[in-house]
C-alpha cells in the first residue's frame, strides 16, 4: 500500500497517533479535540510545569476545564504530554502550534518554528504528515519548513507529507471553538492536501480547502489585517468624535442599525494579543522584501499604537479638571490582559498605559482577577484587591480590560473619576466617567 493510502486508512480508522508541538492556547484545545475523537494523542512542550500539569489533569488555559482534561489523561488515557521530543517518531501526524512573535525591529521571529521543525526533522520517518499551524508570512511552509525536513533525504509529497492550516482560536469565545470554527487547509501536493483534510475532518465540522500553503498562510493574515485596519478606523473616528464633542458609542450604536453595508467595530485603548497587532506586520514585512509598501497596514498600526497615549492623555485631562496633576496621583488600572475574561497579557495595551502613567509620575496599581502578577519593564507588579477602600483612595480609575467578573457598579459608587475606553460603564452611580471620546458622563460631570 502506498504511504499516503496507508496513512489515510489509519486516520479514518482513528489508529493514527497525533502529535501536537506546543500546548498553549492553540495546541492544548487541539490535542483535547483529537483525544476526545478517539485518537491517541501526544502533546509536546518545552515547559516541564505545563507537561506535569496536563498529565495530572490540570489545565493552564481558560478554554479547557481541568475536569475535561482529566478525563483524557492518566495511565489509560488517550492524551499524554511530554518534554521528550524524541518521541515524535511515534506520531503519524505532527501538528506544529508554536508562537511566532515579532522581533524588537518588527521582523518575524520564526525561531520557535525553526526549533520545532528541527525536532521533527531529527525523527522524521516515511509516511508522516507534518502540519504547520503557527501564523506566518506566505511562503514559510514551502521555503523554510520543506527544505529543513527534506535535509533528511525524504521528499515532501512522496515520502512524507506537508501542509499549512492556520489556527483560528479566539480565547474565551463562548460560541466559536476548535470543533465548530471552519478550518482552512492548504497542502503542498495533492496527497499532502488530501491527508491533511482527512485528518481535520475527524475533529472539525467544516474544513475549507484552498489550493496551496501560501493561500492558507495569506488567509490568516488577511483575516486579522481586516480587523486591525477597521479597528484603526474606529480608533481614528473616536478621536474625530472627541474633537466634535460627540459620544462615539452613540454613533456606533446608531450606525450598527443599518442592516447592510456596515460591520460593527469598536475603538479601545489599543490592540493586544498575539494575532491582531502582530499578523498584519508579517504581511507588511513580506511585502517590503518585494519592494512594496502596505500603506493601510502601516497607518492602522500607527493609529492603534498611539491609543495607549490617547488614554493617558484622557486620564491627564480628567485629573486636570479635578485640579490634580498626573504627577503624584494614585491611578488604579482595571485589567491587564489583552481582552476580557482571559489571562493572556501578550501585547496588552494596559501594560503600555501603566508604563506611560508611571513615566509621568503617577503612582500606578492594577487589579485583574485573572492575572495575579505581571512583569512590566523587568519589574514585577501584583494585582491589588478591588475594594471600596482601594477605589476611594484612587484619584482615577482606568478601565483597560472589561472583565465580566468586575462589578462596575461598585467601581462607580466608590471611585471619583473613571476613564472608560472600553465602554464598560453605561450609567455611573457616583463617579464622573470619561469615555474614550465625547463628553464626560455622570451627575457630577463638569461642563465641557
Half-sphere exposure of 102 (CA within 13 A, CB side): 20
Cα four-point dihedral sign 235, 137, 206, 274: negative
Is there a shared CATH topology between the 3-211 domain and the 212-448 domain?
A: yes
CB distance 314 to 166 below 8 Å: no
C-alpha angle 190-194-196 in degrees, rounded to nearest 5:
115
CB distance 164 to 217 below 8 Å: yes
Residues with a catalytic annotation lie at 275
- C-alpha cell at position 139: 511562503
C-alpha to C-alpha distance for 84 and 44, rounded to whole angstroms: 7
Q: Give every CB contact of residue 232 below 8 A, 6+ residues apart in sequence.
A: 299, 300, 301, 303, 304
Q: What is the pLDDT along the chain (448 residues), one digit of tens a residue?
A: 578 899 999 999 999 999 999 999 999 999 999 999 999 999 999 999 999 999 999 999 989 999 999 999 976 789 999 999 999 999 999 999 999 998 877 788 999 999 999 999 999 999 999 999 999 999 999 999 999 999 999 999 999 999 999 999 988 899 999 999 999 999 999 999 999 999 999 999 999 999 999 999 999 999 999 999 999 999 999 999 999 999 999 999 999 999 999 999 999 999 988 888 888 999 999 999 999 999 999 999 999 999 999 999 999 999 999 999 999 999 999 999 999 999 999 999 999 999 999 999 999 999 999 999 999 888 899 999 999 999 999 999 999 999 999 999 999 999 999 999 999 998 888 899 999 998 998 867 676 5
Question: Could you tell me the residue ranges of all domains in the chain?
Answer: 3-211, 212-448
C-alpha to C-alpha distance for 269 and 349, rounded to whole angstroms: 6
Q: What is the DSSP code (8-state) at residue 143?
A: I
The domain defined by 212-448 folds into: Rossmann fold (3.40.50)
- The helix-helix angle for 213-244 and 279-288 (nearest 10°) equals 110
- C-alpha cell at position 404: 465580566
Residue 367, H or E segment: strand 363-367
CATH number of the domain located at residue range(s) 3-211 in this protein: 3.40.50.720
190 by Cβ neighbours in 10 Å (0-12 / 13-18 / 19+) ranks as exposed
208 by Cβ neighbours in 10 Å (0-12 / 13-18 / 19+) ranks as middle
Amino acid at each position: 500500500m502506498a504511504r499516503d493510502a496507508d496513512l489515510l486508512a489509519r486516520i479514518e480508522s482513528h489508529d493514527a497517533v497525533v502529535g501536537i508541538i506546543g500546548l498553549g492556547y492553540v495546541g492544548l484545545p487541539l490535542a483535547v479535540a483529537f483525544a476526545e475523537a478517539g485518537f491517541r494523542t501526544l502533546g509536546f512542550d518545552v515547559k516541564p510545569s505545563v507537561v506535569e500539569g496536563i498529565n495530572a489533569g490540570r489545565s493552564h488555559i481558560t478554554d479547557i476545564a481541568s475536569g475535561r482534561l482529566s478525563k483524557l489523561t492518566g495511565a489509560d488515557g488517550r492524551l499524554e504530554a511530554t518534554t521528550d521530543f524524541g518521541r515524535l517518531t511515534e506520531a503519524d501526524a505532527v501538528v506544529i502550534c508554536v508562537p511566532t512573535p515579532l522581533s524588537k525591529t518588527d521582523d518575524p521571529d520564526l525561531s520557535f518554528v525553526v526549533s520545532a521543525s528541527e525536532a521533527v526533522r531529527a525523527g522524521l520517518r516515511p509516511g508522516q504528515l507534518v502540519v504547520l499551524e503557527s501564523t506566518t508570512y506566505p511562503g514559510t511552509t514551502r521555503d523554510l519548513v520543506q527544505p529543513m525536513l527534506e535535509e533528511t533525504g525524504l521528499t515532501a509529497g512522496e515520502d512524507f507529507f506537508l501542509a499549512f492550516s492556520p489556527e483560528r482560536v479566539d480565547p474565551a469565545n463562548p460560541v466559536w471553538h476548535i470543533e465548530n470554527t471552519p478550518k482552512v487547509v492548504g497542502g503542498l501536493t495533492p496527497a499532502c492536501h488530501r491527508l491533511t483534510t482527512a485528518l481535520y475532518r475527524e475533529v472539525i465540522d467544516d474544513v475549507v480547502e484552498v489550493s496551496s500553503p501560501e493561500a492558507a498562510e495569506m488567509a490568516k493574515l488577511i483575516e486579522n489585517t481586516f480587523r486591525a485596519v477597521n479597528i484603526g478606523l474606529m480608533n481614528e473616528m473616536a478621536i474625530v468624535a472627541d474633537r466634535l464633542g460627540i459620544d462615539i458609542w452613540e454613533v456606533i450604536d446608531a450606525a450598527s442599525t443599518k442592516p447592510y453595508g456596515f460591520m460593527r467595530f469598536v475603538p479601545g485603548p489599543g490592540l493586544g494579543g498575539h494575532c491582531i497587532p502582530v499578523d498584519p506586520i508579517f504581511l507588511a514585512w513580506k511585502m517590503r522584501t518585494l519592494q512594496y509598501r502596505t500603506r493601510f497596514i502601516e497607518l492602522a498600526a500607527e493609529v492603534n499604537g498611539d491609543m495607549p497615549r490617547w488614554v493617558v492623555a484622557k486620564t491627564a485631562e480628567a485629573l486636570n479638571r479635578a485640579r490634580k496633576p498626573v504627577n503624584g496621583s494614585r491611578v488604579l488600572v482595571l485589567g491587564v490582559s489583552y481582552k476580557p475574561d482571559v489571562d493572556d497579557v501578550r501585547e496588552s495595551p494596559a501594560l503600555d498605559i501603566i508604563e506611560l502613567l508611571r513615566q509621568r509620575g503617577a503612582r500606578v496599581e492594577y487589579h485583574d482577577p485573572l492575572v495575579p502578577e505581571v512583569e512590566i519593564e523587568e519589574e514585577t507588579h501584583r494585582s491589588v484587591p478591588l475594594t471600596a477602600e482601594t477605589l476611594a483612595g484612587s484619584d482615577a480609575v482606568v478601565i483597560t480590560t472589561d472583565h465580566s467578573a468586575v462589578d462596575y457598579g461598585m467601581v462607580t459608587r466608590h471611585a471619583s473619576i473613571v476613564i472608560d475606553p472600553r465602554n464598560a460603564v453605561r450609567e455611573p452611580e457616583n463617579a464622573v466617567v470619561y469615555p474614550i471620546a465625547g463628553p464626560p458622563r455622570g451627575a457630577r460631570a463638569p461642563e465641557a
